Amino acid sequence: MRVAYYVRVSSERQAEKELSIPAQIKAIQQYCTEKGWSIVSEFIEKGKSAKTDDRPEFQKMIALAKRSNRPFDAVIVYKFDRFSRKRDDHVIYKALLNQCGVKVISITDLTLI
C-alpha cells in the first residue's frame, strides 16, 4: 500500500517530549516497514494546533487526496489527535477521505477513523 504520513506538534514544549516530530516519524517508518507499506509522501506541521483545519500541510495533504491520481491510499498518523482535535473536523475529513478511497490509520490508537 502507498501511504503518506502526517506528523504535527503544536508547541516547542511538545516537540521536546515523546511526541517530537522525529519520534513520530521514526515510529511511523518502523510501523510501515513492518507492514510492507511504501511511504510516498510526508506532511510535517510544526507549531500548529489541531483545533482548526487551518494548517498548510494538512490542507496540502487533503488536496492531494482529492485528486483522481492521488499518490497515496492511506494517511498514517502517530495518534489521532495529531490529525485533528476538533470532533467536527474529524467527521468532515474522515468522510471526505473515505469518499476519495483514502484510509486514516493511527499507529498507536489501532483503529481506523
75, three cell numbers? 494517511
Catalytic-role residue among 10, 11, 49, 106: 10
Cα–Cα dist 86/41, whole Å: 24
Which residue type occupies 70?
R
Q: Where are the alpha helices (DSSP H) in 1-113?
A: 12-15, 21-35, 56-66, 80-83, 87-99
> Catalytic: 10?
yes
62: how many CB neighbours lie within 10 A of its CB? 19
Q: Which sequence positions are flagged as catalytic? A: 10
